[in-house]
Homo-oligomer: A and B are copies of this chain.
């Protein structure tokens, strides 16, 4: 068997990938501001299910872009998502990325309250005196606690990217977020992940940069 490699210049690989994704979506139409996010998530996962799974509250993308331009920070529940988000691009607008999961005070609070560290890290995020976009790629308990904090008027996120992955309470945690009046981008079902959370953040950032 001859293995053939396609000749593509390094700088052209991403462009060619998006062309292939567009071809395979066979003319499917998305809302303009959602399209780049959906395609970037497919680019990150090679999983076309996201064309159906990703759900956006009305105006979520434009609200998120507005928040980032006004200096909103991003709080995520994994070091992997933090590593994957384009922090230079966010810093241009004054924002930074936080992940509190490895913080000693979060570990201590989780132990004392008998919760997950993800839950405790949402409490820490609620004490930030900043506009916050949440990018949750791992822990459904983070989403569940965000829902509680929102209902208790302790937090008003600018956007919730709700894409935890897994088998225990992942599906209902996303449904809870879709019941709030907070702007959201959610991957319905079990799928998601830190890579998906980072891809959505980066898609938003790249949309802002191209806009200039």
Contacts and interface: CB of A to CB of B under 8 A. Distances in A.
Interface of A: 1, 3-6, 8-10, 13, 16-17, 20-21, 43-47, 78-84, 110, 114-116, 141, 144, 165-170, 172-173, 175-176, 179, 189-195, 198
Contacts of A80: 80-81, 83-84, 194-195, 198
Nearest to A171: B3
Contact of A16 (B3, B167, B176): B167
Contacts of A168: 6, 8, 13, 16-17, 20
Contacts of A8: 168-169
29 contacts: A3-B176, A5-B169, A5-B172, A6-B168, A8-B168, A8-B169, A10-B110, A10-B114, A10-B115, A10-B116, A13-B168, A17-B166, A17-B168, A20-B167, A20-B168, A21-B167, A43-B166, A44-B165, A45-B165, A45-B193, A46-B166, A46-B191, A46-B192, A78-B84, A80-B81, A80-B194, A80-B195, A83-B83, A83-B84
